Structure formats: C-alpha cells, structure tokens
Structure 1
Amino acid sequence: MTLPTPLPVDLDKVSAGLAALASAAPAPLQHFTLENGLSVYLREDHHTSLAAVQLWYHVGSSDEPIGHTNLSHLLEHLIFEGSSKLAAGQYSRVIARIGGEANATTHLDATSYEISLPASRLPIALEIMADAMDSATFAQPEMDREIKAVEDERRLKFDIQPDQQAFDRHSALAHGASPYAAPTFGYPADLGNIKLETLRTWYRTWYQPNNATLVVAGSVDLPTLRQQVTRYFASLPKAPIADRPVPRHDTLLQARSHVVSLPGLRDGLIMSFNVPGKATAPDTATAPTLELLSELLGEGFSSRLYSDLVRDKRMVTGVRTTYDPLVRGDTLLTISAYVNTANATPEEAAEAVYQHVDELRSKVLSAEELERAKLRMLASRLYSRDDLASQAEQIGAAAAVGLPASVIDQDIAIIRHLGSAKVQQVALDYLGRERLTITYLQPGAPA
C-alpha cells in the first residue's frame, strides 16, 4: 500500500512542542481516605470560581446479574427522588437555585453523580450527595414513574436509532461471554420485572462509602475540602462489599463477522479488536500505545484512514476510531465508517481498513508520523483540562475501575517517550485478524 505523502515536518519543532505540552502538567492530584473507606481526590484549579464535584459508586451495568439488567440505570434515576433532607425532585432544583447543574450517568463499571456549581456552594452539594448515599427514600410511586422515564429514554436513544441498535449487536458479538456484551439499555422485559425490594437491595449493597470515590476539581484547597467532606460523610458506616469478577475476553479468539440489516441504516461497517483496558494491560505503556494507534488510524483529517480512504480513494464517507482504556476489564478498539457504495462494497472497504492496520503491524513508523501523532494526543489532553467536569470524570473513572487515579497523569510522560518499536509490538499483539469482529451494516426494508 502506498500511503499519502505527508507534508514536510520539522522534527525539532515537533519535539519542542511535545516538551512544552509535557511540561504543562496539571496541579498535582491530592488524595485522602476517610476511616469509613470513602476515597477522595482533589484537583485544585484556582483560575476559576467554579467546582466540579462527582461521586462515583463502583457498580455499573456490567455488574448486574442475568435477568436483572437496568438495575443500575433505574437506581441512578431514583437517587434524585428524595432522601431524609430532600423531597422527591428537590435534588436538582436545589442545585439549580444556587447556580449549579446536576446530572448522573450509568457506566459499564460505575454510576456517577455529577454537579457543577460555584465553589463557594460546594458544602451544599456534599451534603446532598451524602444524604442520598445514606437515606434515599424512593418508594413504589417514584419507581413506577422512573421506569416510565427509562422507557422513554430507551425509545428516544435506542428504539428509533438504528445505528445504536446495530452497535449493540456488534458489541454482543465482539465481547462474547464478557458482561460488557449486554445491551446498552438492558432488556425491556427485565425493566418491567424489577421489584422495589430488589432495587432497594441493590442500593443498600453498593451505595456505601467504602464502595465510592468522591472527586472535586476547581477552586478549593485540600484542608477546606477535607473539613467539609469529613463533616458530611464521616458518620456514614462502611459495609461489606462483594468481590466483582473482572470482565475478560475469551482466551482463544477467532475472527467473527455478521451482517446487520435494519430500516434506516446506511451502508457501513464496524470493526473491533479485542484489546486490554488499562486495568488488564500487561504493562503501563500498552493502553497509551493503543490510544496512539487509534489516533494514527482514524483521529482527525491527517489520520491514515481519513487521508487515504475518505479523502483520496473516497471508499468511505467518514471514519471514526474509539478506544476507552478506563474500564475494569478487557475492551475494544473500534473503527466505524460509512461506505461510499459508488466506489466500494462494505467488504472491500473493510479489507482496505485492515490493510492500514496491517501496515502498522508490519512496518516501523517513521519518526515524523509518530511524533506528530503524539503531539496531537498531548495537545488534546491539554485542551481538555479547561473543562473541570472532564478532569473530574477522568479521575473518577480511573478510581472506579480499581486504579490509582494518578495513572491519568503518568500517561503524559509515557506517551511522550513511546518509540516506534513499542507501537509496532502492541499492534502485532492486539490488532491481528483473530481478534477482529466485523459488522457489515446495510439498509433494511421498512417495517
């Protein structure tokens, strides 16, 4: 394969840029743990008068037993429906009245509650979060109402979204027996069968201080935060927490493919490789290297796939690569593309994509291409620091999967010093055809 000729690069300037980005380190991550096991992280940032506070419970959709999908998502909704200090619906209203915004998210391995607000009002957010951890008061009427809300959310984000339906089928095939294979919104029948006592048991089992991480990013100092957190959370007792099996992929993998045909789908393809996450990788450099490979393949207009298959050959009309290393188990590196059927079949496009992957496995990267990709990655990370909520999310996600949250800062030095040999080795180890699942997308007849 002949790759497009890149523009000339001044390696000295690129190296200088990398050094400058690497030196622009964030404020050191500060950490303490209460006697009841609540882990607390602080990223001080006094360039703003705001704060992002997030409470991450270490339980998510992948922890749900068979027949009980939707437990975590439904409980996420119900935490807003009253506690010993707040009536149903007041959680978000109180935060809004003090100039803040509240939200929550169910993840594969965690459930997070996020509040952004003026830093001077941080004690109010902490009091509300602690009360919700200790004394959520949801009953059958609130549960029935939120089941309807989850059903409405499913219709909006899944039932009328053929791309999401296709991705769920792809994910199930790619993940195999891993708990990560479960559908994004669970199974509708499970949602209708959830009992109030089952949900309360889920809450009592997992919503405990020793199964949670509190993250604050913004204009607050450590002594003040420690005093405030101690005031509202220290009296909450710890509880026994069950071990959670680590989601792993099959030991023996083989190439998999299928066709998904749905009304409203466009011709396209989804290609995923079974790869480790940061928690299951054999060393600290593997996950950052997989991120770099994702960058090289499909991030931005100068990436290999975009330059060759979108801009030059016009085989696909768009391309996207994704890899999220902050999970407890094995995960996927995914390439998605819509196919220009005037110039290629989905099968031809998939083969053209894999030729680029194989090029990374068989040939050593040039210094120019490697350094430019590293520069783009570090620049993106630097820009993300302007968003307090994004900073808090990265810290919380790392802690929730069982890693010291400091690993997200260590990545900067790892990326800067990655060499072509390591990139090629990781590509050889994890981007082979035996690890590849391909889903071919095609339009289906209207129902």
Structure 2
Amino acid sequence: MSVYLRQQHGTSLAAVQLWYHVGTSHEPAGHTNLSHLLEHLIFEGSSKLAAGDYSRVVARLGGRANASTRLDATAYEISLPVSRLPVALEIMADAMHSATFDAPDLARAAKAIVDERRLKLDTQPAQQALDHHHALAHGNSPYAAPSFGNAADLGSLDLQQLRTWYRTWYRPSNATLVVVGDIDLATLRGPVDKYFSPLISGPVTDCPAPRHDDALQARTHTVSLPGLAHGLFMSFNVPGCATAPDETTTAALELIGELLGQGASSWLYSELVRDQHVLTGVRVNYDPLVRGDTLLTVAAYVNTTHATPEQAAEAVYQQIDQLRSLTLPSSELQHLKLGMLARRLFTLEDPASQAERIGSVAAAGQPASLVDSEAARLVAIDASTLQQVANTYLGRERLTITFLRPGAQA
C-alpha cells in the first residue's frame, strides 16, 4: 500500500483518506453500481464495529466521515483531531479486510442509491442531458457510462457479486493512504504498520486505461427534456495525465480551459455573454487526473433572443479556433497563469483538499510528486506551446456537440 504524508503545521485537524483504485470505469457491462453499492456497504459494520458505528465513532471524536465513488477510485475520507488519527487508521484498516454486510444491508444501500439518483439525476434534466452527451463523446470508453450507472443493474446485483468485488479490489496493494496534518512520519508509521501491515495483499487485476476511439469524427445530437433550458455541451476528445504524450500537454490544456471559461474575464464570457449576448452563462471543464483519455467541455446556456443553439455553438467554436492561429500575448498569458496559481494555492490551505489532490493523482496512476511540480509546469508553458496543443486537440474532428432544448411536459 502506498502511503503519503503531507505535513501541515498549525492545524489541529488531520485529513485521512483511503483511496481504492477501483471505480465506475472498472465495472463490466451489466454490473454498473458495484462500486457505489460497496461504498455504502462499507459503513454497515466490520469485525470491530456494528452497522453505522463507523461514522458515529468518528463523530464522537470530533470528526466527520464521508465517501465518494469516482470514475477510477472509491475514496473514504475522515477529518478529525490529529490526536485521534490512530483511531481513524484502525477503522479504515478493519473495513478493508473484515467488512460485514448481508441481504438487509444490501437492500438499504440500494434504496439509498435510488434516493440519491432521484435527487441528483431524475430531477435534474441538465445532468441527464450531460449523461447523454458523455455517452456520445466518450464512444466505447468506459467513461461513457451514466453517472449513476444503469438503473436496471442496481436491482439485479446480489451479495455474492458484491463480496467478490470487495475481495478483488479492497486490499492494500490496490489502495493509497493519504494523511495531511500536523504529524511527523515517525508518528504516522506506528499505527499504519500496526493496523495495515497484517492485512493480506496479493495481486490486483489489471484493467486497461479507458481510451477514445482511434478514428474520431465530429458528432452532433439534440437532447430534449422537460425543464431543460436552451443550451449546449461541446466536448473535445483530449488526453488525461496518464495518456498525454508529455506533462506539457495537460498543463497547456488546463491553461486553455482557464483562458476560455474561467471567470468574467475569460474569452467566452467576455465576448459571448457580456458583449454579443449570445450566451447567458458559460463554463469550461478539463480534469486531467484520470487514468485514461478525457474531455475538455464547454457548457453554456443560450440567449435565444439573440441566437439559436446552432449559431451559439458556431460562435463558441470560432472563439476556440482563434487559439489555433493566434499567438497569445505574453502579458495575457502571464495574467492567466497567475490567476490559476493563486486559486490553486488558496484551495490547498484546506487539509482535505490537499489530501484529495494527492489521492486523485495516485488514482490516475501518477506519482504524488506531480502535485508539487504542477506550478512549475504551468509557469513553463509559452504561447507557442499553447498554440501547438490547441492545433492538435481542438479540431472539429474531435468535437461532440449536444444541443439542449426544453421538452414538453409529460
């Protein structure tokens, strides 16, 4: 098991996160929801704790426990006073090797996911549309699966399948432990050795990195749902940190996302929202911390009094296409870098945010040192590199567009 410690002095709380390198992208067809179900079941008890005691014990110690299922990982997070850190490690280690869940627990976990799905997906037409968009943009990649899996699979999974998933993936050799707080390595090593060293490890099943189709071409469709506002999603197929040819590529793509859609001074906002009134809102997302190929996505709401969604999409692409022919002035590039670095430094004041960043890097199969070299990589990007990356990855052949339209009420 990999263990990372980030010392942060002057704080009384420690962030303890255990990242299992298994998420929704590992699930075979017909078995979606396995990782999410198991995430809930881990809180149903172990050899040392009764059902629900995982969170209750942490709360009594002045802390908070949570968990999340992601594309490439399932993360268990505990924030609590540094002096209580050994208890958190004992709880996590016990859950790793002796979780106890049965049929009633499975039924409760499935209901919790149904309720979560109803709240976060069934009543959110924009999220439903985004699932449709991802399915088209990712193609045959496992990342194309719906955010809450397939509803039909949830009711067909049984205890044996969950226990097999648990035994296969929940082991030290498939986990990364991250601790951030006012603690030294020698103090941390004792409880880690005590609680995790006796656990059986063993080989882990190799799972190929999700990749996009070899032959990419422009894709377009329309999603119409009740309650959906006029808008569009535009995604380019791009590499993540694990599939990019070099670290410079992902750093440049991050800067491109910042330039296009971060804040009121970004290109898309200033030109298409404030000046031309083609859009009423826009944001750009690119997260390179995945173990496969990913997307750079523009999400926008259209001002239909000034443009159709098709006209808005063309206006967005024309702004993006400028990057392919324009050399960005050094002053603008420098301002861009400073804003991005300042925001990252601010978020890293929080121990939990630091731990999440390190865990995300590890789940993507990258060394933790990547976190500390991010700033240097961004600073080193010049205008010609930005232009080269834009030419390579922001062409129409890599573009998927989903037009969003309001649908008739049922």
Structure 2 length-normalised TM:
0.99
Question: Secondary structure of 2:235's match?
Answer: strand
Could you tell me which amino acid in structure 2 is paired with residue 305 of structure 1?
L
TM-superposed CA distance for 1:288, in Å, is: 1.0
Tell me if 1:88 matches 2:51: yes
State the distance in 2 between where 1:40 and 1:240 align.
18
Q: Which consecutive residues of structure 2, in runs of 5 or more, have no partner in the other structure?
A: none
TM-superposed CA distance for 1:379, in Å, is: 0.5
State the distance in 2 between where 1:218 and 1:348 align.
51
Could you tell me which amino acid in structure 2 is paired with residue 368 of structure 1?
S
State the match for 1:198 in structure 2.
161
TM-superposed CA distance for 1:303, in Å, is: 0.4
Tell me if 1:272 matches 2:235: yes
State the match for 1:301 in structure 2.
264
State the match for 2:72 in structure 1.
109
State the distance in 2 between where 1:226 and 1:421 align.
46
Question: Secondary structure of 2:243's match?
Answer: coil
Tell me if 1:290 matches 2:244: no
TM-superposed CA distance for 1:386, in Å, is: 1.0
Q: Residues 128-207 of structure 1: matches in 2 within 5 Å? A: 128-207=91-170
Tell me if 1:408 matches 2:371: yes
TM-superposed CA distance for 1:408, in Å, is: 1.6
State the match for 1:29 in structure 2.
none
TM-superposed CA distance for 1:207, in Å, is: 0.1
Q: Which consecutive residues of structure 1, in runs of 5 or more, have no partner in the other structure?
A: 1-37
Question: Secondary structure of 1:79's match?
Answer: helix
State the distance in 2 between where 1:425 and 1:372 align.
20
Question: Secondary structure of 2:133's match?
Answer: helix
State the match for 1:350 in structure 2.
313
Could you tell me which amino acid in structure 1 is paired with residue 108 of structure 2?
R
| RMSD over aligned Cα atoms | 0.6
Q: Which 4+ residue blocks in structure 1 deviate beyond 2 angstroms?
A: none
Contact (CA 8 Å) 2:90, 2:195: kept in 1 or not? yes
State the distance in 2 between where 1:272 and 1:322 align.
9
Tell me if 1:328 matches 2:285: no
Structure 1 length-normalised TM:
0.91
State the distance in 1 between where 2:10 and 2:211 align.
42
Q: Deviations over 1:175-228 (max 9, x none)?
A: 000000000000111000001000000000000000000000111111111112
State the distance in 2 between where 1:408 and 1:302 align.
27
State the distance in 2 between where 1:434 and 1:260 align.
21
Question: Secondary structure of 1:285's match?
Answer: helix
State the distance in 1 between where 2:49 and 2:117 align.
28
How many aligned residue pairs are there? 410
The match for 1:52 among 1, 15, 27 is 15
Contact (CA 8 Å) 2:239, 2:292: kept in 1 or not? yes
The match for 2:398 among 435, 439, 442 is 435
Contact (CA 8 Å) 2:241, 2:364: kept in 1 or not? no
State the match for 2:32 in structure 1.
69
State the match for 2:3 in structure 1.
40
State the match for 2:386 in structure 1.
423
Q: Residues 206-285 of structure 1: matches in 2 within 5 Å? A: 206-285=169-248
TM-superposed CA distance for 1:409, in Å, is: 1.3
TM-superposed CA distance for 1:124, in Å, is: 0.6
Could you tell me which amino acid in structure 1 is paired with residue 317 of structure 2?
Y
Identity within the alignment, %: 68
State the distance in 2 between where 1:354 and 1:391 align.
35
State the distance in 2 between where 1:388 and 1:359 align.
39
Could you tell me which amino acid in structure 2 is paired with residue 280 of structure 1?
T
